[in-house]
Structures are given as C-alpha cells and as structure tokens.
Structure 1
C-alpha cells in the first residue's frame, strides 16, 4: 500500500472515539479504525522508515503492532491506568538499538485531534537507561557536548524545544558548581516540536516536514543511541 497521507476522516474518527471511548463503540467501528488509522499507519512506517534509514541505516521501521505501531487498547494493568480503554492519540516509533523500543533512542510521533507531536531521543528513562545517561554525562566533555547539541537544535527552529527537568535535587556525583550540571535533573532526554494535526492528511508534505525535523534533531538521536549502548540490564 502506497502512503498518500491519512484520510480527512481520520481526525473525525478520533474525535468520535474521544466521545465514545468504550469497547462496545470501538468494536462496532473496528473496520473504520483499520481503514483510517491502522492500514495507512503501516504504509507510513514503510515510507518514512526508508527515509530515516538514509539518516541512520540501523533505524528499525517495522509496520506491526508492538513494533513501530502501538496497540489502540490501553494497558489497564499499569498503576494509575486511565479508565478509558482506548488511546485517543496514535503513536508511531522508529528506534535504534536492541533494547526496549521506548528505552532506545528513537524518532517518535503521535497525532490526535489536538496536535501532531514529533520528537527525537528518549522521552523517559527507566532505571537502567537513567543510570547509563548519568554515567555518560558525569564526564565534563560529554555534558558540554549534550548542552551544545540542545543549543544548536533549538537555534535551527524557534519551535524546537526539549523536555523539562523532572528532578529538583542533584543526584550523587553532581553538584551546582559543575558546568551544565542541570542536565542530570532530567527524567528523559528528547527534543520535540508540534504541528497542526491536519498535516497528517498531506502525504508528501508530511514526509518532507518530518524528515527535516528528524534531520535537524539527528545529533541528539546519535548521542542518546551512544548512551543506550552503555545500558546494563539484569
């Protein structure tokens, strides 16, 4: 299936889902989900993946659920899980590395009726990745390198930004007198930007805009991939 953009009905479907977030409604509209979201998402992963592999040949672009695509159903087993059974935003990920896709450096996006969110890096750290990140930036040169990467990315486009700090106290081995010590206060390390969600309806333009963003943010992708190579799992 060639990717030509998502249908103009896709966001309308998500709006209806938002108003009818229950298994009965979704079961009755599953064919629409497949036609408006699942099938074009698979085509998008294939098309976008070929472009991203020109930037990073080992990027994984696998057009399957639990690979580059996410399940529409929420995981109700998680602590503090949202009561609504279906996700109201559609996530897609292209990751690099052999670890968990969400704990590997990645090119990521999600779209909903409110926005198209586009990000690069690792959006939150589990403990092994957090440990590897902090171990990396204990090195003065690596902290300076990361600080410069973030500065250069933000200078490329005023709409580029990065995650906010998640901790208030410096972890062991870091202190306020260290240059760029604030980098140790992050719970994830990713840069991102947002677009009007209707961009998903414009096939070639969507691919081109995303490629530009991901190319601009590539240095962070590469930095975080190097961090992921230091992760030690039990």
Structure 2
C-alpha cells in the first residue's frame, strides 16, 4: 500500500475517541479505525522507514502492532496509569539496537488532534540506560560535546526534554562543565508541528526526514550509550 497521507477524517476520528473513550464505542467503529489510522500507519512506517535507512542503515522498522506501531488500547493495569481504555494519540517508532523497544535509541512521533510530536533519543531511561548514560557523561569531553550538540539543536528550533532530577547524582557537582546534563532522566530532543501535516503524504515524509536528519547526531549518541547498558 503506497502512503499518500492520512485521511482528513483521521484527526476527527481521534477526537471522537477522546469523547467516546470506551471499548463498546470503539468496537462499533473498528472499521473506521482500520481505514483512517491502522492501514495508513502501516503504509507510513514502510515508506518512512525506507527513507530513514538513508540516514541510518541499521534502523529497525516493521509495520506491525508492538513493533513500529503501538496498540490502541492502553495498559490500565499499571499503577498511576491513565485509566481511559483507548489512546487518542497515535505513536510510531523506528528503533536502533536491541532490548526493550522504549529503551532503544529511536526516531519517534505521535499525533493527535492537538499536535504532531516528533523526537529522537530515549525519553525516559530505565536503570541500565540511566547508569550507562551517567557513566558516558562522566567523561568531560563527551559531556561537553553532548551539551554543545543540544545547544546547536536548540539553535535550530528543537527542544530538549525536561530534566528529571533537582540534585546532582554521585560523581557530579555544579562546578563541573556541563554538569546539568546529569540531571536528566532521559535524553531526547523534540519538535511540535501542526497535526494537519499528516494529511499531506509527500510533505510529511520530506518534513520528517529533514527533522530526523538534524536530530541524527543525538540519535547516534544515545545509540552509543545503549551499547554500554548492562541489563540487571
């Protein structure tokens, strides 16, 4: 299936999910979900993934649920999780490396009727990645290089995720160059676009490609960190 953009009915359908967030409504509208979201998402993953291979030949993508695509049903069993059964935003991920999907360095996006969110890196480190990240930035040269990279990306209009900690972890202090990097719980940059862009197939692919090309140095850095992570 060739990707020509999402339907103009896709975003209104996501708004309808938000207003009718129950399994009974969704099952009655499953055909619309497949037509407006699932099928074009699969086509998008295939085309965008092939483009991304020009940036990073080892990028992983597979147009299947629990691979590059996320389930529409939310896991409500986790403590503190949003208890609404359905997601009203659609996530898509292109990963590099092995291990847990969300702990691999990745090119990621999600869209809803509110925004098109585009990012690269890992937004939340679990302990093996957090340990590897902190070990990586203990080296002053690497730490300053990463800080300079983030500054360069921010100068291009990208944003770095918020810091997660207020106190410096062991081995870091305020008098160290770029020590603030040790306060992050993840490492990723992002940009927010108008969600209607998903309706313009070629423009969407071209726009994302240019963004991910800008973000590639950070994606590579986080991938290098992931290779140092040791599973518990």
Paired position in structure 2 for 1:215 = 213
TM superposition outliers: structure 1 runs of 4+ over 6 Å: none
Post-superposition Cα deviations, 1:89-130, rounded to whole Å, max 9, x if no partner, equal 000000100111110110000000000000000011111110
Paired position in structure 2 for 1:190 = 188
2-side partners of 1:167 and 1:154: how far apart? 21
Q: CA RMSD in A?
A: 0.6
**SS, match of residue 154 in structure 1:** helix
Post-superposition Cα deviations, 1:58-93, rounded to whole Å, max 9, x if no partner, equal 101110000000000001121112121001100000
Post-superposition Cα deviations, 1:196-227, rounded to whole Å, max 9, x if no partner, equal 10000000000000000000010000000000
1-side partners of 2:189 and 2:80: how far apart? 26
Paired position in structure 2 for 1:67 = 67
Paired position in structure 1 for 2:142 = 142
**SS, match of residue 13 in structure 1:** helix
1-side partners of 2:82 and 2:152: how far apart? 37
Report the TM-score when normalising by structure 1: 0.98
2-side partners of 1:190 and 1:78: how far apart? 24
2-side partners of 1:61 and 1:212: how far apart? 18
**SS, match of residue 229 in structure 1:** helix
Cα drift, residue 146 of structure 1: 0.5
Paired position in structure 1 for 2:85 = 85
Cα drift, residue 147 of structure 1: 0.5
2-side partners of 1:94 and 1:108: how far apart? 6
Paired position in structure 2 for 1:58 = 58
Cα drift, residue 182 of structure 1: 0.4
Mapped pair 1:233 → 2:231: yes
**SS, match of residue 50 in structure 2:** helix
2-side partners of 1:54 and 1:101: how far apart? 21
1-side partners of 2:112 and 2:166: how far apart? 31
| 1:1-234 equivalence runs, <5 A | 1-155=1-155, 157-158=156-157, 160-234=158-232
**SS, match of residue 165 in structure 1:** coil
Report the TM-score when normalising by structure 2: 0.99
2-side partners of 1:85 and 1:56: how far apart? 35
Cα drift, residue 152 of structure 1: 1.4
